[in-house]
Amino acid sequence: MDTVRALTVGVDVDLAMFCAHLAQQRVPYRVFEERGRQVLEVASQLDADRVRAEYDAWRGGRLELRWSQRPMRPRIAWRRILAEYPVVVALMAIAIVCLPATWPLDADRLGPVLPWLTIVPISGAGGELQFDSLERVLASGQWWRLVTPIFIHFGLVHLAFNAAVVVEFGRRIERGAGSLALMLLTLSIAIVSNVAQFALTHGPLFGGLSGVAYGLVAYVVVRGRFDRTERVWYVNPSFAIAVVAMLLVMSSGVTEWFGLHIANTAHWVGLVLGSVAALLWRPRGARDGG
């Protein structure tokens, strides 16, 4: 279910106390500014009707609100988040669970888990890695390796940066196009970008959700050119320019001066695939009535 606009008021109206009242009443909401006005959205039409009635009563002096003596801790509606964004939640959960797989690298070891996540099995440390061909690996039935490199992250910062982008743009796609669309888009980008990265660099020790992240950003940006009236697809043009500029800088090789080797092939492939997908395939999610 999409959110419902309950109130639209001027920016001079102080909604702090009223929002505190909604929090105390366990009414999920969000407030944002749009074209010089404050907009308050809630989860359902029933909540919207209630909010309007209580707001009118408050402004009319029929409802007295007071600051709570003991501020309530904000509650995260985990069930609602899981119901609305199951694919985003699953991606983040798997990435977090797989994060410790790279920790043995700090001690110049591969550990027991990492070789199962790389695009081909690897062995050896502190020198040349030994690995088999992708063709023989797939012939043996290890098809999961086409996807699992996206869950390999080399540190918490690496994961946090990728997670921030995937959560922001993944939820947009899941909300505007549906969970199936996001899942298929993620799998397609993961498989093609991983294979391309391995084929062009012939190095198996790479990973991260960044290729998928670039693909999701590209999908949202390009789709926004077609669905201009849907807020879920709107991206500030300066952000899109910054994304491409950053990718160009990283592809220049300047990061390698600092010992940071980046899987730029996966990034470019993700960017292209996301753009092409938005040009050719624009499903609408159930919450958008499609």
Q: Which residues are catalytic?
A: 210, 267
Whole-Å CA distances, 8 to 40, 42, 186: 7, 12, 36
What number of CA atoms fall less than 13 Å from residue 32's CA on the CB side? 9
**Do 42 and 27 contact (CB within 8 A), yes or no?**
yes
Listed in sequence order, the residues at least 6 apart from 224 whose beta carbon sits closer than 8 Å to its beta carbon are 230, 233, 234, 235
Whole-Å CA distances, 228 to 78, 169, 178, 273: 30, 16, 18, 21
Report DSSP letters for 79-143, one per residue: HHHHHH-HHHHHHHHHHHHHGGGGGGGGGT--TTTHHHHSSS-EE--SS--EE--HHHHHHTT-G
- Distance, CA of 202 to chain centre: 28
Rounded to 5°, angle at Cα 24 from 174 and 74? 50
Whole-Å CA distances, 74 to 10, 22, 24, 253: 26, 11, 9, 44
The backbone torsions φ and ψ at residue 5, rounded to the nearest 5 degrees and listed phi first, read -75, 120
Whole-Å CA distances, 26 to 17, 41, 65, 119, 257: 14, 14, 15, 46, 52
